[in-house]
Amino acid sequence: MSGGLPPDPTGYRDSTVQASADTQVGQELEPIVKHVTLDKSRIYQGWPEVRNRHTDYQAAQATGLTEPNINGGQTAEYLGELFIKFFGSGFVGGSLLVKFIGFVSINDTVTVRGVVTGTETEGNRVKLTVDLWAENQDRVKVLAGTATGYAS
């Protein structure tokens, strides 16, 4: 490495799997892997001004947690990233529905996955439906959702 910062192994990268008129039901989306840290949670929340159960051990323990847990909105953004990477500009007019079904803890590795579950033609456009989910390193689902969008 010649000066500067090393690349973030969990940073944004373009997807090689993108929605097209030829996309078939059963097509898996390219997974996204994110390593969640307390530092990333604090940045997301606005630390040090914001101290809550997502950023601070004392605040987390006051709510019955042993340590801070990651904000659901932060984790939901990972599904959004997969959604936009797959649909590209075809996300406009689409939808993303997310359900929070588990906790994300400090130092979890979250993998976001998706699979195409439906296609339909609307006029001259192909609309795709995708089931999305996020799971931790133990393959426990922490988020689940459904997205629709249009092939490019």
d(CA 55, CA 50): 8
Question: Residue 40 carries which DSSP code?
Answer: H
Q: pTM, whole model, 2 decimals?
A: 0.85
- Over its length of 152 residues, how does the chain's per-residue pLDDT go in tens digits? 556 777 776 666 778 889 999 999 999 999 999 999 999 889 988 888 988 899 899 999 999 999 999 998 899 999 999 999 999 998 899 999 999 999 899 999 999 999 999 999 999 999 999 999 999 999 999 999 999 999 98
Note the pLDDT tens digit of each residue in 52-88: 899 899 999 999 999 999 998 899 999 999 999 999 9
- Listed residue (84, 135, 136, 152) closest to 144, CA to CA: 135
**Distances from the Cα of 54 to the Cα of 33, 39, 103, 142, angstroms:** 20, 10, 11, 16
Q: Could you give the percent of the chain with pLDDT greater than 90?
A: 72
Sequence letter at residue 31: P
Spell out the domains of the chain, with CATH numbers in brackets: 32-36+72-150 (3.10.129.10)
Contact 35/9 with Cβ under 8 angstroms?
yes
pLDDT value at residue 68: 92
pLDDT value at residue 63: 94
Sequence letter at residue 125: R
